């Protein structure tokens, strides 16, 4: 396994499956891993706020016997108050791992290059690997063997869509991104996923028709229409994405036993209706919980 976890593609398919195995074992028996990172400290760098990322990493490192230190934008202000290089060279002498949630993906790449300790990507504008690990762990719990399943992501071709494509490519899960014209995933991310999928046989595709996209899907996934930093576009995005709302009618085009997933936070009534997110087939809260278990497994593998 690589020193860092910056994208899902940093892991092979076997390494991802091993991570899932460890995560499920941790979920089953927390006490078994209570001291595996005893005395280790994880720095949590947040340039963007988060409920799930903050809680799951903070709680997760403590459940493994370690500690965390929260570093807010005011304390670091990456690249402005202090350079990424200087932050990396300081922290590598004080802590045993760094989780960073920031904007530009280059920041986590640079941090990985310059710090001698493990770097975990908690989110960038390009990718959200920890979320994808929780997503596919949930899909595995619900559906068993992942190979040959189909996941359809409906909405903006953003960092979450990129990570879902990467994970599907590695694990043999067909991933369809259904989005409006002009809001497709980053072309480089798409091409990278398609290339990676050659080994597993997965199909990675982008379509503009949401009903065609969810056809025969085992899982339907969505995200907010306007992410952090896109607030000024919210009104225009609402108009463009309204036909891509995941509602009961759209879900009826997926498989009869399809599950619904969402990275959260959800804007109920926008990208998803209450009837879907609160339905028995919705697994958004088990999925959110699995952030904790998947990330604990990643921390254990990198920092142990």
Question: 84-91 vs 105-114: helix axis angle to the nearest 10?
Answer: 40
Of 105, 128, 262, 293, the active-site residue reads 128
Question: What count of residues does the chain have?
Answer: 304
Residue 101 bears catalytic tag: yes
Of 156, 291, 293, 295, the active-site residue reads 291
Residue 131 bears catalytic tag: yes
Residue 30 bears catalytic tag: no
Bond from prior residue into 182 cis (ω within 30 degrees of 0): no
pLDDT digits (tens, 9 = 90+) for 203-243: 999 999 999 999 999 999 999 998 767 778 888 999 999 99
pLDDT digits (tens, 9 = 90+) for 106-139: 999 999 999 999 999 999 999 999 999 999 999 9
Question: Which range among 165-169, 172-176, 225-229 shows the weakest confidence by mean pLDDT?
Answer: 225-229
Q: Same CATH topology for 8-128+290-303 and 131-287?
A: yes
Quick count: other Cβ atoms within 10 Å of Cβ 198?
9
Strand-pairing partners, residue 219, are 151, 259
Q: What's the confidence (pLDDT) of residue 63?
A: 98
Distance CA 223, CA 155 (A): 7
Enter the tokens of residue 78. 């990456």
User: CA nearest 95: which of 41, 39, 59?
Assistant: 41
Radius of gyration of the chain measured on its C-alpha atoms: 19
Distance CA 213, CA 205 (A): 9
pTM above 0.85, yes or no: yes
Domain boundaries, the chain: 8-128+290-303, 131-287
Residue 140 bears catalytic tag: no
Average pLDDT on 3-25 reads 98
Tally the C-alpha atoms within 13 A of residue 227's C-alpha that lie toward its C-beta: 21
Residue 242 bears catalytic tag: no
Of 162, 263, 293, 295, the active-site residue reads 263
Distance CA 177, CA 223 (A): 12
For the domain spanning 8-128+290-303, the CATH number is: 3.40.50.1370
CATH architecture under which domain 131-287 falls = 3-Layer(aba) Sandwich (3.40)
């Amino acid at each position: 396994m690589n020193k860092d976890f910056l994208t899902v593609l940093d892991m092979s398919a076997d390494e991802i499956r091993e991570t899932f195995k460890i995560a499920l074992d941790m979920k089953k028996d927390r006490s078994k891993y209570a001291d595996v990172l005893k005395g280790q400290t994880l720095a949590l760098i947040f340039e963007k706020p988060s409920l799930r990322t903050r809680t799951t990493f903070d709680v997760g490192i403590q459940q493994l016997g370690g500690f965390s230190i929260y570093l807010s934008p005011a304390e670091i202000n990456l690249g402005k108050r202090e350079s990424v290089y200087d932050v990396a060279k300081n922290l590598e002498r004080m802590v045993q791992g760094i989780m960073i949630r920031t904007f530009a993906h280059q920041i986590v790449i640079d941090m990985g290059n310059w710090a001698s300790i493990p770097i975990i990507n908690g989110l960038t504008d390009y990718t959200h690997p920890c979320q994808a690990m929780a997503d596919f762990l949930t899909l595995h719990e619900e559906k068993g063997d992942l190979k040959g399943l189909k996941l359809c992501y409906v909405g903006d071709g953003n960092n979450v869509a990129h990570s879902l494509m990467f994970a599907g490519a590695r694990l043999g899960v067909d991933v369809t991104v259904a989005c409006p014209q002009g809001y497709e995933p980053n072309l480089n991310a798409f091409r990278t996923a398609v290339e990676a999928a050659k080994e597993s046989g997965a199909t990675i595709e982008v379509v503009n028709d949401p009903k065609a996209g969810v056809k025969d899907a085992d899982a339907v996934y969505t995200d907010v229409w306007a992410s952090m930093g896109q607030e000024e576009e919210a009104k225009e995005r609402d108009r463009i994405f309204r036909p891509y709302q995941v509602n009961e009618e759209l879900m009826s085009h997926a498989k009869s036993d399809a599950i619904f997933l969402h990275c959260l936070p959800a804007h109920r009534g926008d990208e998803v209706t209450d009837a879907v997110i609160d339905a028995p087939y919705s697994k958004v809260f088990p999925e959110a919980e699995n952030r904790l278990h998947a990330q604990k497994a990643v921390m254990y593998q990198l920092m142990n």
